[in-house]
Amino acid sequence: MKVLVLTNLFPTPWDPLRGAFNRQQFERLGRRHALDVLTAVDFRERLRGRRGEVQVPGLGIDHFVFVYPPRLGRALHAACWLLSLLLQRGRRLRAAGYDCILASWAYPDAVAAGWLARLLGIPYVVKVHGSDLNVQATHVLRRPQIGASLRAATAVVAVSRALATKAVALGVDASRVHTLYNGVDGKRFAPGDQAAARARLGLQDATGPLLLYVGNLKESKGCLDLLEAFAVMAAAQPQARLVYVGEGACRGALMARARALGIEARVRLAGAMPHESLPDWFRAADLLCLPSHNEGVPNVVLEAMACGTPVVATRVGGIPEVVPAHAGRLVPLGNRAALAGALTEASAQAWDHAAIAEHARGFSWEANIDQLDAILQQAARAGAGAEVLR
């Protein structure tokens, strides 16, 4: 098949670390089919300049600049997205002869992709990830657009059962909604020696519990909640330390609050890291902490467990579907006291790291790609059949 992928969740020269899960999935799918990935780059990000280069073997990679009036209501972003795409790449798309489109992210990407698919006369499949339904679909003017896009798609792929249920609630026939958990690269993410990992990362002086956060530093990911909970834990465990791996708008607020709480020396903001460097961070940590406010199924949770590292996270989205009791502790959203208690208890617990890693091995990219491949082929066949009937 010849497949066009439309998404904002993929590495670009302006954000080389973005969408690592999609990069892994699309690279593997590209070994089976001709895959072109066309990534939307926000015009404001484009103006900030390149931060690296992106090369993914076997994929056709391109981007277009998503332009919109900054103060315009977000309900019109899908129209702006499609217009940006057609003005910059329309002629090439019409001549390419794609069999189907895979849109990865519901709004504005999938809404615009649905309109494009109708212009090109080909089927499309939508993949939903988390806040594209958990947040975007709660807005009164965006929800109808998202619902119409999902209902018109040949199939909807959800990364958790919780998201699949939300797609059905938007009117999608349940028979066309598929739950497909992301995979883990078992060769890269595997248990290893903790002391050696800490030495490689310059953490060899860590003698107490080492807590790790990996992700965007933004409030909805719970990074500020974690800091407050850690302060409570740290009062009872003077050797405990917390490391944030990632960048984002909350970086300054985190450091200011750490100073105010008197724990600045015990909190490290390591910055964003390449995906290939993450295994050592997971191996070095005693716990991965992710108190998100909403989620699909975050790949960092799967990858941490693949390294044998237990998880403390909020009971939101698809997280309860993938974190069993023997692999971590889950707490209610917004309950910082419960989070502090879970961190304290989990850091003192004797975990079966081999059992945690064995559980995570059930999330393989091979099984993921087999299922996604079958869904896309079925969509392409349905599209070919419809063309014959016309």
pTM: 0.93
Report pLDDT digits (tens) over 132-158: 999 999 999 999 999 999 999 999 999
What is the CATH code of the structural domain delimited by 194-360? 3.40.50.2000
Residue 389 has pLDDT above 50, yes or no: no
210 bridge partner residues: 241
Give me the pLDDT at residue 204, please. Answer: 85
Q: How far apart are CA 33 and CA 2, in angstroms?
A: 6
What is the CATH code of the structural domain delimited by 2-183+365-389? 3.40.50.2000
Ranges for all domains in the chain classified under CATH 3.40.50.2000:
2-183+365-389, 194-360
Residue 387 has pLDDT above 80, yes or no: no
Report pLDDT digits (tens) over 166-199: 999 999 999 999 999 999 999 999 999 999 999 9
Amino acid at 230: F
Q: How far apart are CA 326 and CA 351, in angstroms?
A: 7
Report pLDDT digits (tens) over 208-253: 899 999 999 999 999 999 999 999 999 989 999 999 999 999 999 9
pLDDT band at 386 (very low <50, low <70, confident <90, very high): low
Q: How far apart are CA 114 and CA 118, in angstroms?
A: 6
Dihedral angle sign, alpha carbons of residues 134, 135, 139, 145? negative
- What percent of the chain is predicted at pLDDT more than 90? 92
Beta strands 100-104 and 59-66, pairing class = unpaired
Residue 388 has pLDDT above 50, yes or no: no
